[in-house]
């Protein structure tokens, strides 16, 4: 499965870039275990951050940021088979889960619930 990892990135950081880097590391921490289960992990920021640089985003929340960050995850959800929601308050991740549920995708909250790929 292609699994979108959703959780806090900007939430709770007051736009502190170091805290955002820590949140990205928390998202990434789940990627290798998912890969080892035979799946392809995806994080929206892996796609969005290079696009933000190319678009000339100067600060968190500017026009380019709003144009790209959340829409990337929503486009990825059109291709994903499931979402893995890590812990932590995040309106964006909650929206990803809502969209995924509408599309009938599987939602996982614990690694032990993710099946091995066959």
With vertex at residue 55, the alpha carbon angle to CA 54 and CA 57, rounded to the nearest 5 degrees, is: 105
Provide CB contacts within 8 A for 60, sequence distance 6+. Answer: 10, 15, 17, 20
Instruction: Tell me the domains of the chain and their CATH numbers.
Output: 2-113 (3.40.50.10400)
pLDDT reading at 118 higher than 90: no
pLDDT reading at 8 higher than 80: yes
pLDDT reading at 16 higher than 80: yes
pTM, to two decimals:
0.95
Q: What digits encode the pLDDT tens for the residues 26-76?
A: 999 999 999 999 999 999 999 999 999 999 999 999 999 999 999 999 999
User: Tokens in use for 60?
Assistant: 């968190």
Looking at every residue in the chain, the average pLDDT score rounds to 96
């Amino acid at each position: 499965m292609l699994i979108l990892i959703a959780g806090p990135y900007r939430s709770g950081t007051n736009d502190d870039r170091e805290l955002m880097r820590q949140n990205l590391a928390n998202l990434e921490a789940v990627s290798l275990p998912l890969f080892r289960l035979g799946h392809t992990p995806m994080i929206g920021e892996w796609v969005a951050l290079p696009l933000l640089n190319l678009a000339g985003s100067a600060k968190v929340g500017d026009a380019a940021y709003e144009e790209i960050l959340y829409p990337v995850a929503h486009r990825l959800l059109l291709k994903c088979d499931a979402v893995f929601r890590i812990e932590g308050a995040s309106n964006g991740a909650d929206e990803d889960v809502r969209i995924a549920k509408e599309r009938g995708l599987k939602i996982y909250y614990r690694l032990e619930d993710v099946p091995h790929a066959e």
